Structure 1
Amino acid sequence: MTTALKAFIIAFSMYSQIPMPQFTWQEKEMKYAFCFFPWVGATIGGITMFWWWFCGKFSVGNMAFAMIGAAIPLAVTGGFHVDGFMDTMDAFHSYQPRERKLEILKDSHIGAFSVICLVLYELIYIGAYSEINAVRQIEIAAVGFFLSRCLSGIAAVTFPGAKKEGLLYMFTSRAHERTVKAALFLQTLSAAVLMLYIDGITGAAVLVGAGITFWYYYKKCKKELGGITGDTEGYFVTVCEGVIVLAAAVCKIVLI
């Protein structure tokens, strides 16, 4: 297998539950794994579009459309990013010193705040998802799974890290920074152009929402933790996906 194909397989092996060929990971392939991280989101987007088509074809009810649609990212990733979201919520809401927050991020137990925040998030997410049943909005939301991972990858190789250990540090420390950044910025630009092409107003609203989320993520993690971690990357992907769906839903309601 080529280096690019192996890097692609590593990205999917790490960030999805999709079965992949097994081989010993070498540093030369790990250098480029982040280039293919957004394609996990593209896979989720493709499945989402198929589910939307299926619901229309067989007259599936709106509740099933929203509930199962919201479950698709969880099924593909195995809840990988949601786990980081929950750990980050516990850390942020602990109101402890920075060192203690970093310890909470490593704790495998969940606290009350993570559960409360996840329930609140899912209620908003599913409610918004139930509104994006028009083709333009669902297409933009599908591209959003790709965009959120592009931005997450850019953050991983650009933002300061809170610690020099863990899965994120292992990948970013081995990444070919110039190539990964160029690939991720190009893919981000492509996703933005596609969103604006599908629907200018909805695309612009989603891009603004994702941009604000990206800026907030940097400021929040820098203030609370001194940088980002693997868990906060999961937090960002989860929140960014929620903001994208919410923005698309608001546009769909307003534009009718």
Structure 2
Amino acid sequence: MKSLWNSFKIAFSMFSKIPMPQAEWTKENMKYMFCFFPFIGTAIGALTLVVSWAAGYLGLNVLFLSVILTVVPVLVTGGIHVDGLLDTADALSSWQERKRRLEILKDSHAGAFAVITACVYFLCWLGAWSEICFDVRLTMIMALGFMVSRCFSGIGVLTLPKAKEEGTVAEFSRKSENVAVRNTLVVYLVLLCGLMIWIYPVIGGAAFLTACLVFFYYRYMAMKYFGGTTGDLSGWFLCLCEVGMALVIAVVSAFPV
């Protein structure tokens, strides 16, 4: 039980800005860490629902609420996944050979393509939220989507080959109880899929299918261009998965379903 509690603390300490008690980063304490990774998505989703409800109660306009909801995940996570998105954008846009792409991932400087990607990414979120934010069922589906993306991201860390033998992802994978954690994440995904479809069958199903397709593209991209996954690529996937779900929810909701 103590090991589970420590895994929970480490997951939230690593992937969020939510204050947590200290825990030693040993193999024993980290082996179930990814079981709790999706619950950071739960925190983001819960905050999203609270903010949406409060905005409706206070009578805030759509644009203002959309801006707030766009920055909620960044505030909760500290932008750790967005950093991976931008580093990966620079590496992919370089069209260099594999070794050079991996070097670009480690470069702390932001290139032009990272800046362009950031602008497009946040504008997509803003547009999607402007269509979703005052519909309770659509917001609930997106709130669950923050957990779905983290389940798939965790599965990717545990199952995909690693582009580098050292690094955050390789270290986390070595210290994780891979089979048990992977199976737990799969169970989460089944439950989340059922909930999303129950809330709004067509739109919930479309959102979950989008997450699956983005994951398969992520696997293809990581293997083809980098020879495996890294922490930055995991962040790239998570951001793309979430904004992809948001855009699909917004578009499909425009049609009578």
TM-score category, normalised to shorter length: over 0.9
Mapped contact 2:85–2:233 kept (Cα < 8 A): yes
- Residue 17 of structure 1 corresponds to which residue in structure 2? 17
- Residue 158 of structure 1 corresponds to which residue in structure 2? 159
Give 1:129 shift: 1.0
Mapped contact 2:163–2:228 kept (Cα < 8 A): yes
Does residue 147 of structure 1 match 2:148? yes
Large movers: runs of 4+ above 4 Å: none
* One-letter code aligned to 2:86: M
Q: How does 1:117-196 map to 2 (within 5 A)?
A: 117-132=117-132, 133-196=134-197
Q: How does 1:205-244 map to 2 (within 5 A)?
A: 205-244=206-245
Q: How does 1:13-52 map to 2 (within 5 A)?
A: 13-52=13-52
Distance in 1 of aligned mates of 2:74 and 2:256: 30
Give 1:23 shift: 2.8
Q: Deviations over 1:180-214 (max 9, x none)?
A: 11111011111111100101000111011111101
- Residue 204 of structure 2 corresponds to which residue in structure 1? 203
* One-letter code aligned to 1:208: L
* One-letter code aligned to 2:249: A
Give 1:27 shift: 1.2
Aligned residues: 256
Give 1:25 shift: 2.2
Mapped contact 1:84–1:235 kept (Cα < 8 A): yes
Does residue 100 of structure 1 match 2:130? no
Listed as ranges, the gaps of 5+ residues in structure 1 are: none
TM-score by length of 1: 0.98
Q: Deviations over 1:25-73 (max 9, x none)?
A: 2211111101100000010000000011101111111011100001000
Distance in 1 of aligned mates of 2:244 and 2:23: 37
- Residue 112 of structure 1 corresponds to which residue in structure 2? 112
Moved more, 80-89 or 115-124: 115-124
Mapped contact 2:84–2:236 kept (Cα < 8 A): yes
Distance in 2 of aligned mates of 1:146 and 1:65: 21
* One-letter code aligned to 1:228: T
Distance in 2 of aligned mates of 1:225 and 1:81: 18
Give the alignment's Cα RMSD to 1 decimal. 1.0
Distance in 2 of aligned mates of 1:205 and 1:25: 38
Mapped contact 1:84–1:233 kept (Cα < 8 A): yes
Distance in 1 of aligned mates of 2:206 and 2:188: 19
| Identity level (%) | 43
Mapped contact 1:85–1:236 kept (Cα < 8 A): yes
Distance in 2 of aligned mates of 1:29 and 1:52: 36
Distance in 2 of aligned mates of 1:65 and 1:244: 19
* One-letter code aligned to 1:219: Y
- Residue 66 of structure 1 corresponds to which residue in structure 2? 66
SS of alignment partner, residue 131 of structure 1: helix
Distance in 1 of aligned mates of 2:25 and 2:119: 37
Distance in 1 of aligned mates of 2:254 and 2:231: 35
Give 1:121 shift: 1.4
Distance in 2 of aligned mates of 1:44 and 1:54: 15
Mapped contact 2:142–2:246 kept (Cα < 8 A): yes
Mapped contact 1:195–1:203 kept (Cα < 8 A): yes
- Residue 252 of structure 1 corresponds to which residue in structure 2? 253
Listed as ranges, the gaps of 5+ residues in structure 2 are: none
